[in-house]
Chain A
């Protein structure tokens, strides 16, 4: 494995992390909610895709068409009826509540499935690759990277160009004033969570095709999403894309040095950013959409 190849693979892996992290980034950027169940919802999405694929014998990519909108709905409901209530109490309560959700999901999955690890078989997509300038590039990782970029560009356009996106930014700036000029803050927060959960579903299925998962896999993955968000800058979607890529690069280049060093290299870069540039590479919260 050459260094050039490692860089390409690292960037592509970064796409997966960015896709996974953008929901977390959106919920933090708009609602200031840190969703500790983020990883578990992603694993839940992967299980759901597994059930759909084996139950209806449809290709894996088709299952996404069902899982993502369904998760959008789940996100809206979870935000309005669970997270919003805890937000009304205090920001710290949302940590406890989402932590509780995380445990509930893990145990429910353990009960419904089993502790065995599963994976989503996507056939040629996972194993196939094409060659560019002597490098082997997998279809799946390119598809995930393109999806991640499209999702983040789409989200940015949604936030900056649409009326709903404008309402989201206003509600994020100042909830009280937003409601006094006619924004239904609880509704738009629900919509933001719905979008975030839709991206979580995409990322969960992508993760499931990339590597195996089990009911307890959520929290480990959440760390990668956190790292991508913090490296990029809290609440900035472009930052999250960049953060994901930096994390992916660090991990792949790290394992190029030593196969066991990969994940640790990612953590080291994360710690270095926290220590020397705590607001992230693209620091901005309020101007997330500009």
Chain B
């Protein structure tokens, strides 16, 4: 699984392998969300290519990318208020691929859900809403999952619990590209990280190889350093 030559921002090139989590970190306005939204098909890049398994998907509209296996968990959850919890999950399967994920699998993952499946999601807590958004994305049986600011507005303990789901998902061969402001969290769970500053990648590498001082510099842009990794 590979994304090449995505130049919607500026010279951003990255790839995600099956079973790998890749993190994009960076400050507000660095272009992280734009990058994810472009991959999801919500922005058309001015130039560059997006490939999935060698097949170019740059021209596919968002709903067709879901069928191809690219599914996004949007920033701020974006659940549908006029749908019940269960309907919010079901809608994820509208153009989904065949696979192991279905309602009962999602309910296994989040055992609190069945009791409230006929309720609207408006009154759920932030962490519960985020779980529904993740479940909705999984229902499509994605090849690659795009996680946009999973931690936004959630308590640290809740964020921990959500990210704890990730290893099992990766184990099943899913690729994950995540955008995160919480750098520590992102570096802990990813196998590869890119730091984005003003639309450019300022630092890339395996989290273990990145020195905190370098990350800080790349994140805030105090001083320009050469690309690593």
- Residues of B118-151 at the interface with A, using a CB-CB cut-off of 8 Å, are 136-137, 140
Interfacial residues of chain B within 62-115, with CB under 8 A of chain A in the complex: 62-63, 66-67, 71-72, 74, 78, 80-83, 87, 90-96
Decide: B83 and A173 in contact? CB cutoff 8 A: yes
Evaluate whether A170 and B80 lie within 8 angstroms (CB atoms) in the complex, with A163-B90, A180-B42, A183-B63 already known.
yes
Partner of A166, one of B91, B136, B140: B91
Contacts of B67 in A (CB 8 A): 182
Complex Cα distance A167/B82, Å?
11
Stretch at the interface among A133-141, A217-225, A281-289: A281-289
B136 touches A181 (CB 8 A): yes
Q: Which of A179, A182, A287 contacts B92 (CB 8 A)?
A: A182
Contact A182 B95 (CB under 8 A): yes
B74 pairs with A183, CB closer than 8 A? no
Known: A166-B83, A286-B81. A179 touches B91 (CB 8 A): no
- Do A174 and B63 touch across chains, with their CB atoms under 8 A apart? no
* A116 touches B (CB below 8 Å): no
B80 in contact with A180 (CB, 8 Å): no
Assess whether B87 is in contact with A182, with CB atoms less than 8 Å apart.
no
Interface size on A, residues (CB 8 A): 23
Summarize A's interface: helix, strand, loop or mixed. helix
- By a CB distance below 8 angstroms, the chain B residues around A288 are 82
Give min CB distance, A254 to chain B, whole Å: 36
The digit string for B26-42, where 1 denotes a CB below 8 A from any CB of A, is 00000000000000111
Closest Cβ neighbor of A185 among chain B residues:
B63
Does residue A177 face the partner (Cβ distance < 8 Å to B)?
A: yes
Expressed in whole angstroms, the Cα–Cα distance for A174 and B75 within the complex equals 14
> How far is the CB of A137 from the nearest CB of chain B, in Å?
38
> 1/0 per residue B44-58: CB within 8 Å of A?
000000000000000
A172 to B42, CA, bound (A): 17
- Does A8 reach chain B (CB closer than 8 Å)? no
Query: CA of A166 to CA of B87 in the docked complex: distance in angstroms?
Result: 7
Residues of A199-257 at the interface with B, using a CB-CB cut-off of 8 Å, are none
Sampled A-B contacts (14; CB under 8 Å): A166-B83, A167-B94, A169-B87, A173-B81, A178-B91, A179-B62, A182-B63, A182-B66, A182-B91, A183-B91, A184-B95, A287-B82, A288-B82, A289-B82
A residues apposed to B, CB below 8 Å = 163, 166-167, 169-170, 172-174, 176-185, 286-290
Known contacts A181-B140, A183-B95; can you find 15 more A-B pairs with CB under 8 A? A163-B94, A166-B83, A170-B80, A170-B83, A173-B80, A173-B83, A176-B42, A177-B74, A177-B78, A181-B92, A181-B136, A182-B66, A182-B67, A182-B140, A288-B82
